[in-house]
Amino acid sequence: MRIPASITAYCVVALCLFACNSAPTSSSANPSSPDSATASLTGFAFVDSSVAGQGAGAKLPAGAKIYSSGSQITGTEGCPTNQYKTNGLPVAVIDYSGRPTAGSVTVVRHPATGGTFTNAPYYLDLNTGRTLQNLGPIFDNGSYEVQFSYSFNQGAQKTLSATFVLARNCI
């Protein structure tokens, strides 16, 4: 069986192009290298279940307030306003730039009534842009630590932390 010359020539050209495009590059010249990935735990916001239920594709509603790390949230800010508590759900606001990677968010709760409780981590896929990560049903006053880790598949893990305090008067 003979292979036509045009198919052979096509395969040779395709292999040459593939080889030319797969040459190794230094990480300083490659903007998508693991070292160039950056993330920030921008803060926290309160959303309703229609936003939290969108998962990784959720967008922060226009006009939503982002509380920076260290914020003390008082009054009725972020309080649920219906009997099912489907609004006032806290989310971590994460801004990420780099290759897609895996991440996790862990919440450590310090309720005003006492104790320290570490929630199981939430695992997430990070893509370039803003990600909202639901922090679970948090309604009790107290302080909360949020630990965000990422770049599991790109070398050394990076970890960021932020805190917020709930001192609200929810009815």
Show the domains of the chain with their CATH numbers: 31-168 (2.60.40)
Asked if residue 103 lies in contact with residue 126, where contact means CB atoms within 8 angstroms, the answer is yes
One pLDDT digit (tens) per residue for the chain, 171 residues: 555 655 555 544 444 444 444 443 333 334 445 457 899 999 999 999 999 989 878 999 999 999 999 999 999 999 998 899 999 999 999 999 999 999 999 999 999 999 999 999 999 999 999 999 999 889 999 999 999 999 877 678 999 999 999 999 998
Alpha-helical runs (H) found in the chain: 5-21, 49-52
* Predicted TM-score (pTM) of this structure: 0.78
The first and second tokens of residue 2, run together, are 């003979």
Burial tier of 113 (Cβ tally within 10 Å: 0-12, 13-18, 19+)? exposed
Per-residue pLDDT, 89: 94
Using CB atoms within 10 A of its CB, is residue 50 exposed (0-12), middle (13-18) or buried (19+)?
A: exposed
pLDDT score recorded for residue 20: 44
Largest CA distance in the chain: 83
- Distance between CA atoms of residues 41 and 146, nearest Å: 9
Question: What is the reported pLDDT for 18?
Answer: 45
What is the model's pLDDT at position 6?
56
Gap between the Cα atoms of 91 and 109, Å rounded: 14
pLDDT at 152 (0 to 100): 75
Q: What is the pLDDT of residue 68?
A: 98
What is residue 92's three-state secondary structure?
strand
pLDDT at 129: 96
Asked if 60 and 52 count as a contact pair (C-beta separation under 8 A), the reply is no
Residue 35: what pLDDT? 58
> Using CA atoms in the order 147, 125, 136, 163, what is the torsion angle rounded to 10 degrees?
20
